[in-house]
Amino acid sequence: MSTKRRARLPRERRMREIMQVAEQVFRDKGYSEALTAEIAARAGVVEGTIYRYFPGKRELLIRVVEQWYERILADYDQQLRVLQGTRARLRFLIWRHLTVIHNDPGMCRLIFNQLRVWPEYRRTTVFDLTREYTRRTLEIVQQAVERGEFRADLPLRIVRDMIYGGVEHHTWVYLRGEGDFSPDAAADAMTELVYRGLAAPAADQLLPTSRAAEAFPAEAALQRLEAVAQRLEQSAGARTVHRAE
């Protein structure tokens, strides 16, 4: 019968085509549900052909993710360079990370749940690029510390961990496909928390709290009531909202 042999393509082109298909299949099905047989079929080749170009399924995912990640980070530095001020830059980093996750949850799930737990992860360029990525955060904080804008008594790594860990924890539910989140709102809140937490106290703000409350009892009371009111409103409105993790 007509042994429908496929066209012979140059190495580069065939690799590109396989990776393109693989990216889609991985994204849609997740790593373990994605079958090499399906990738091969959709790419119009036979299973064995994939192994001519990639040592295995894992390596294929790694290559796919690496390519995606380089695309993501392409114009990153450019955007960051334009921004002025610690707060704006910090917010951009956080917002950016949140937005990447929001825009391509499938790919991020692969990175968080699969790639990052493999032993190969460390020799991946994804690992290197991520380090580079988070190094910017450390730099910004460092510079703010040197300028006296931020306190110097907290380890920088902790700050970075709370930012990136916080972002990921916040997006879990969304990544499981069970809810949504707002990159803008989350970035605002996280930036605020970090900024306030690190801000060096101004000289005139060093008054003991007790004296301050004495000086303005009415305002302090109002402040308290306002807080209570907000809380009650939130809990009343939250009853219908989807449950958090």
* Residue owning tokens 């042999």: 5
Binding string to its own copies for residues 104 to 143, with x set by CB under 8 A, is what?
-----x---x---x----x----x--xx--x-------x-
Residue 78 interacting partner from DNA, its own copies, none (CB closer than 5 to 8 Å by kind)? none
Helix (H) or strand (E) holding 18: helix 11-29
Q: Are 24 and 38 in contact (CB under 8 A)?
A: no
Determine which residue in the list 7, 74, 82, 244 makes contact with its own copies, applying CB under 8 A.
Answer: 244
CB of residue 46 to its own copies, shortest distance in Å: 27
The whole-angstrom separation of Cα 103 and Cα 193 is 24
Q: Are 163 and 198 in contact (CB under 8 A)?
A: no
CB of residue 170 to DNA, shortest distance in Å: 31
If binding is defined by CB under 8 A, does position 93 make contact with its own copies?
A: no
Q: Where are the alpha helices (DSSP H) in 30-150?
A: 36-43, 47-53, 57-72, 76-82, 86-103, 105-109, 125-146
If binding is defined by CB under 8 A, does position 197 make contact with its own copies?
A: yes
Q: Are 187 and 91 in contact (CB under 8 A)?
A: yes
CB of residue 173 to its own copies, shortest distance in Å: 10
Residue 41 interacting partner from its own copies, DNA, none (CB closer than 5 to 8 Å by kind)? none
Q: Please list every residue from 135 through 194 that binds its own copies, using CB under 8 A.
A: 142, 145-148, 150-155, 157-170, 176, 178, 185-186, 189-190, 192-194
Binding string to its own copies for residues 214 to 233, with x set by CB under 8 A, is what?
-xx-xxxxxxxxxxxxxxxx
**Tokens at 2, concatenated:** 């007509």
